[in-house]
Structure 1
């Protein structure tokens, strides 16, 4: 008899002996049963039971991580096995369920408001509803999701410190005051002192104005995001973004202790816009040699060599490089092993592509609340995948000194 089967037998005996204690015991029975199922799936994933030796074993367990699951019977405290190689998350807990539910709610709301396209109608039918959806059903689904998403997007940020912060925006079509308009969705991600990525926040507004970015960054500060400074070095040390003027002004005002890294990929696009695709290729290749250096001194030296070499043939690019020198090379003041991860906005742009992929299913969101509902669920699931993934974005050992000059 396995330990969990033995535990279940004991709990059943307790219920039969004292029915008044059934409430908590039923919760414990469910907890034991789910833990048993998780362990069984982990054994199948590994290819062997615990302590069993055979040729089919592909990896071994490396301890567990706690996971609290809310159920109608109460909160269950489960242990998710960690693997020495690869990652594992039990299908029983279905990490994508919240996104599917959010997508369903958005489509239902669009259908009720009469703004659904043929594609949305087909999806509603594929979900098994050929006769329409009641407003009460949609209201119940949305209320449940809104509470979960709000708890995630409003959570405190003072549990650790975030030396690196990425900021970016994407645009979504939303029905607003009777018209379909393009709305700015801004997202912030960070890397914690433990080297793990986290979704820090999101907001929806009319456009990427300085006021909008300022309000968003203030909301992060209000939730506990620390700012680096002489009296508190454990705060945001570097912000990575494109060169949007409103964003830059907001960072300077709200995160005064942070350096700013201009995304090198966006700068390359600016060069292409200036010179055209044909002429920009060799120029961008030359600029790329700046980022191939292995230490701060050679990086700064190569920057000047590249800028000076373009003075005769492309003086406008030299002017761009002169103006952006401090911002394009801010990464060089941080640990060498972090450079490739912090000199561009690529990480958050990949997240934006996932947001757009989900949004394309809806096409036009019926209102702002539906954007928060679906995108908030997408971001929450991505956040949890980052937290439970075996690989850290940056090694924990390298995070001992992510401050300028280290």
Structure 2
């Protein structure tokens, strides 16, 4: 990844917060040098530098206006003689920003926004926008988000899939309704994370989750070995139907919350430490021994907590069947929870989505950018241990089959 050195004038910084639009001006001061650094990388030469590797020559800059939540930016985009300067900055940055601004505009047009939202929208977009303007902007952005969200997944196998949902408020038929935004992330055979898809369901019912999983499979999701989620009953039943033969790992973070909710407050600290030791055990045998000790000691002091532990033990420790090197990141849905936090940051600005399309557009554009960062960044898991373990499992199964036939 390229590293950029940004220099900001001292006098500029002194007056930064004494003027309107100071933050926008600061962002301009950061982004314009980055654009210059990128054109240097593309041309393989600095301005006026003589180099055998030079691939072209600069031809000044052109202004490029960018509307953002912090104000209107004017960036100086380099031009190249007999060529075209390319940067992903605008494409990646504007997708989610456009989706946010569009949601705000729709709220104003539909007459459901607060005065504050109206003021913000007018500052960002100017006062001259209409339904036709919003419609035209949606036509540009929606196909991009829809194409990504419905892309074929055949290119990779996804041994590990993590799923979760968060509830959004959406205006439908002049009423505010709660809808479930279901999100799936996967770890492919090379160890990179991807966001597999987003779907809005009427609720977190078994029917909604089955529809979601069926949709993922229709896009050629394959190779699923372990699915990680919380213990929502509708979700679990849908997993058992749609991903038969897969291992279900119950999220240990959610499990701990459920168990502590069933524990007397006076025992929270000591119970937490005892359950943490069970979850961190190196193998199933050790975990079961610690569980039996806990059950014996707390059967009378915390009977509800004991019942939660006994009923959930096998599901919460399923990850122990995997190689130790990859267990930690598959014990919980914390990675998906962080995605939810990013979504919530945008959702708090909107509060109530004007329609379903707006919710898909905004969340999808955000997930698109996160997905691009994941797939071009560092590996999430080292999969060598997993594939070696799978090969060993297959070999052991084949040996057992041979012995059975001979017997």
| 3-state SS in 2 of match to 1:133 | coil
Alignment pair present for 1:260 and 2:248:
yes
Distance 1:404 1:108, change over 3 A: farther
Aligned to 2:39: 37
Residues 356 and 404 (structure 1 numbering): CA distance in 2 closer, same or farther, change over 3 Å? farther
> Structure 1: where are the runs of 5+ without partners?
1-32, 52-75, 79-89, 227-234
> Alpha carbons of 1:277 and 1:382: their partners in 2 closer, same or farther (altered >3 Å)?
farther
Q: Which of 162, 174, 177 matches 1:178?
A: 174
Is 1:217 equivalent to 2:213 in the alignment?
A: yes
Conservation of the 8 A alpha-carbon contact between 2:319 and 2:327: yes
Match of 2:334? 346
Question: How far apart, in 2, do the equivalents of 1:42 and 1:349 lie?
Answer: 41
Alpha-carbon distance in structure 2 between the residues aligned to 1:185 and 1:42 = 45
CA deviations on 1:194-244 (whole Å, 9 max, x unpaired) are 111111111112210000000110000110012xxxxxxxx1111111110
Per-residue deviation, 1:401: 4.3
The two structures, once aligned, show a CA RMSD in angstroms of 2.8
Equivalent position of 1:116 in the other structure: 113
Query: In the alignment, what sits opposite 1:95?
Result: 92
Alpha-carbon separation, structure 1, partners of 2:45 and 2:170:
46
Per-residue deviation at 1:107? 1.1
- What does residue 73 of structure 1 align with? none
Post-superposition offset of 1:92:
3.9
How far apart, in 2, do the equivalents of 1:399 and 1:77 lie? 43
1:6-405 alignment, distance < 5 Å = 37=39, 39=41, 92-93=89-90, 95-129=92-126, 131-226=127-222, 235-389=223-377, 391-401=378-388
Counterpart of 2:353 in 1: which secondary structure? coil
**In 2 relative to 1, CA 195–371 (structure 1 residues): closer, same or farther, beyond 3 Å?**
same
Contact 1:195 1:399 in 2 (8 A): no
The answer (yes or no) to whether the contact 1:102–1:377 under 8 Å persists in 2 is yes
- Give me the whole-angstrom Cα distance separating, in 1, the residues matched to 2:298 and 2:360: 46
Q: Does structure 2 conserve the Cα–Cα contact (< 8 Å) formed by 1:189 and 1:199?
A: yes
Deviation at 1:307, TM superposition (A): 3.4
> Using the alignment, how far apart are the partners of 1:382 and 1:284 within structure 2?
34
Map Cα deviations across residues 50-105 of structure 1 (whole Å, 9 max, x no partner): 99xxxxxxxxxxxxxxxxxxxxxxxx998xxxxxxxxxxx6745522210011111
Aligned-residue offset at 1:404:
11
Aligned pairs, how many?
325
Q: Does the 8 Å CA contact 1:43/1:50 hold for their aligned counterparts?
A: no
Name the CA shift for 1:281/1:147 in 2 (closer, same or farther; >3 Å). Answer: same
Unaligned runs of 5+ in 2: 1-34, 54-83, 394-407
Distance 1:312 1:276 in 2: 12
Which residue does the alignment assign to 2:74?
none
Partner of 2:57: none
Structure 1 pair 146/311, CA: closer, same or farther in 2 (3 Å)?
same
8 Å Cα contact 2:250/2:332 also seen in 1: yes
CA distance in 2, matches of 1:94, 1:322: 51
CA distance 1:77–1:317, shift in 2 (3 Å): farther
Check 1:276–1:353 CA distance in 2 against 1; reply closer, same or farther (3 A cut): farther
Report the alpha carbon displacement of residue 403 of structure 1 after superposing the two structures with TM.
Answer: 5.1
